[in-house]
Structure 1
Amino acid sequence: MLLRSLRRGASGQLLFLFLLVCVGPEALAQMQTPVTGHYPPGQSGLRGASTPDPGFAYTNFSRFFTNLQLVGASGTPVQDIDELRYANISMFTWTTDWEFLGFRYGALAGIPFATGDLSSPAGESGFGLGDILLTPISLYGKSTSFDYQLQFTVWTPSGRFSPGSASNRGTGFWALVYSLGGVYYPGGDRAAWSISAVARIEQNFEQRGSGIKPGADLVVDWGAGRMFRVADHQLDVGLSGFGVWQITAQEGGPPGTDDDRYRLFGVGPEASLSLFDPLTLRVRAHWEFAAHDIVRGNNLWIIFNYRF
């Protein structure tokens, strides 16, 4: 870590004390926090890898999330942030009847918009375009008790970005995401219990303007739930969550960012309700915990899915 290396030797101790007085311990801790990837963990949830029927679908994700604390490499909070932010993602899905090696072919495109800190009086809370994602390859399979999928995604740096700016709405770097997921239906009944997981490895490239190449990360979304029939509506209720791990070191950042790697976990309740035949409402809440070298907060998702 940067703080440990600065303390070594007399000259290092003097430099450490100088920085401590000038910028404070909180800023020093933030200097060594790695840049995270694009994917918002927890987006998949219950039945996240289910195989859709052929056709078109539109999904709108509204995500309210708090950035509460900056957590250091030891897992101890080092800075209170107390931000409230909002992101909205429009996802367009096309699933075909075409098959490749037993997999049905599909494609996705996601267009995100995001705000800055809604609780800040600094005027940086405006709505702006984020980083658009394209999934040209989405392969779906199905058996008696399982659904499974393979995906390849390109994440673009389309959102506004300038190093250190409070008005950023994008990350400033390209990424490739490789996804593998499945859903298990005990007993083969898709209208009852489900256990799902989707693993994504994000390969990140150099961030423009900063010279930083963020490390790759692994995100695993999971969910376990039970579907019920309520009058003429389907209700799916359960628990979902995620885990995030940085799996390769960041390059080109401030000294110390390659010494420790971030990780984060989240868990909470989730429910979806079929409002009428093509339209479904889904709500999930995730509380984050066991954070290391990352910002920790909480998430509320409100999701509408419409099948054409």
Structure 2
Amino acid sequence: MKSFDRIDACDWELIEDETAGVEIKWWLRDSENNSWLFKSVTVKDGFRYGEDWSELIASHLAGLISVPTAPVQLAHRDGFEGNISQNIRPETHELQPGRVWMSSLRIPGYEPGNVRGRPGHSLTNICESLEGLLPPPNHEYPPSFSAYDAFCGLMILDAWISNRDRHDENWSVLIPLIPGEDKRLCGSYDLASSLGFNLHEEKLLRILATPRGIHMWAERGTAHRLEHVPPSKPVTLVQAAKASLELASEEARQYWLAKIDSLDTTSAAAVVARVPEMSEARRSFITELLSINAERLQNECRINA
């Protein structure tokens, strides 16, 4: 099976720098006039983080469960390795991060940004804020799906890939710029903080050598970007996925439960196998993690369903 190629983006047009975040980010334009965000990987104390391959894998896994997500490719530019993710904002809309959208609605108790405990950034408030909005463009959902029904897919994806970074700027709504267009949930993006992207090889090997090591690592994955009351622990990512379904329509609940039941770990392993320059230990860790999280979702989300 052919490995994923690393795109040479050195000759792509530089549109502008992206100032959000700490890593190097550039908005680029390819030869077909598509805009892409280049994000460099983090290198700290000699260790290369894996944001490029984690987001690449996550984007392909999202497709396996019909979650609209920005296309991602490995890339390099000006001596930096990273990935490029395609701009999924339609020209007919502006993109408002959840932080801006929820603030504009003046939801009681909501405090935007990186506030301890993430007050107000709860599934209940997110559901309320998305009332009346439609799913992302080019979705494959049933016609009755609401924006929140689609949002549940983000929570299920996060639980599957151990993505703990679904804060109020990592989901967005699309606001129409011209009459006749609808307000919509935006597709998913910025999935790099997943699949143990920041695990040093030595720690990864210790986890693999520990009985039930990957299980224990997976179970420590919490939805700490959602509202919780410190010092109590946030719920796990799987518990958050289940809680999201409890607020969804009945049709959406059954739709997502069917998706969970059919999580294809064989296809997921095939995606992981295509990533170049990855140790076999890391491939084993990621493949087993996806299998474990799929089983956890299947077991926990079916309770009282």
Counting strand residues as a fraction of each chain, which structure ranks higher?
Answer: 1
Counting helix residues as a fraction of each chain, which structure ranks higher?
Answer: 2
TM-score relative to the length of structure 2: 0.26
TM-score relative to the length of structure 1: 0.26
